Structure 1
């Protein structure tokens, strides 16, 4: 992909997406991104002061794509089914795009709880839980802990499936386990009594 006038920052992010898709965060270098776009490394520094800034921009694009996929899975369904779709969408994205998953959650730097609150994946989860509270299907006092319990479950499952003992399972068996993990955590969320 050669750059021809226009939005160089977007072209650099696109090249970064291309590199990280299969190679994860380690594959992203300013030199390789600019080579792919057809500009000098100095041109990249006008838009991104360093590799980490470019990696953050790539990560933001990945998280937006992930959230879009998670939202598409939700459709017009009941809140618990929506939460299920969000969880399975998260795991599905991780399995389909392991390089991007690594960039989005480990490659871009700040992983503090505060930085996560702006993440599109977090917002999709928060929206599903907020709807459950709104209709009286989740106790308001349980909302905050439910967020971290749900996220920990799907993220932990994704990690076990990508890098842990579940990585050797065939896709059908792995997906059945993913569904069971998501269903179990949702079943454990306290309902309003």
Structure 2
């Protein structure tokens, strides 16, 4: 490898590192302040970069926000993609619930970022919500309908079953402060939620 190639590789590593610094800083700022309350100055300061340096990587606050949301939506959809039509219905659905709850536990800032965007009318996510999200929910809803028609799970409106799973798992991230305040010290909300949601959906899904 010649000297020019070594310099280019070093430059690429620095660029990748700075992009990740910006994403991490923006995630903190957006999840705390919301999109409207966040500023590029706040993000640059949190990232330890100058504002002109930040703008070299992302041309606007909107661009950073959309980048985060796009990555987040892919992460959020992975557990639903994993729902296997060839698997045991109850096992597959309960595993989906567990994976969604684990995402809330492991990525609470990302969950709140997504919730803030939805509460604002999803102006930066409309195309994605009506595109890949809807297509995936439609696909998996057909799987749920098929399982119900075979008598393997209760006959429930499939989209609303998915909505219920989203609501009951993401609540623990989006309202974490409230959950911990109500439960008090000495409680592990996610461990308790695992047990409760297993019981709840097992009963709900039984034909």
In the superposition, the TM-score normalised over structure 2's length comes to 0.60
Alignment of structure 1 residues 74-89 onto 2, 5 Å: 77-89=87-99
3-state SS, counterpart of residue 88 of structure 1: helix
Contact 2:104 2:172 (C-alpha < 8 Å) held by counterparts: no
Using the alignment, how far apart are the partners of 2:172 and 2:138 within structure 1?
19
Give the direction of change, closer, same or farther, for the CA distance of 1:107–1:176 in structure 2 (3 Å limit). Answer: same
5+ residue gaps, structure 1, are: none
Aligned match for 1:159, one of 158, 174, 184? 174
Matched, 1:145 2:152: no
| Residue in 1 that maps onto 2:5 | none
C-alpha distance in structure 1 between counterparts of 2:130 and 2:195, whole Å = 25
- Within 5 Å, which residues of 2 pair with 1:114-193? 116-118=129-131, 128-135=140-147, 136=149, 137=152, 142-160=157-175, 162-166=176-180, 168=184, 174-185=190-201, 187-189=203-205, 191=207
Per-residue CA deviations over 1:46-65 (Å, capped at 9, x if unaligned) read: x54x3133112112212323
Q: Partners in 2 of 1:183 and 1:117 — Cα distance? A: 32
Local SS of the residue matching 2:11: coil
- Select the structure that is richer in helix: 2
Instruction: Look up the match of 2:4.
Output: none
Is the Cα contact below 8 Å between 2:101 and 2:190 reproduced in 1? no
Paired residues for 1:38-49 under 5 Å: 40-44=53-57, 47-48=58-59
Q: CA deviation at 1:170?
A: 5.1
Contact 1:25 1:103 in 2 (8 A): yes
Contact 2:23 2:64 (8 Å CA) reproduced? no
Distance 2:83 2:186 in 1: 25
TM-score for the superposition, normalised by structure 1: 0.64
Asked which structure has the greater CA Rg, the reply is: 2
Number of aligned residues: 182
Q: Aligned Cα RMSD in Å?
A: 4.3
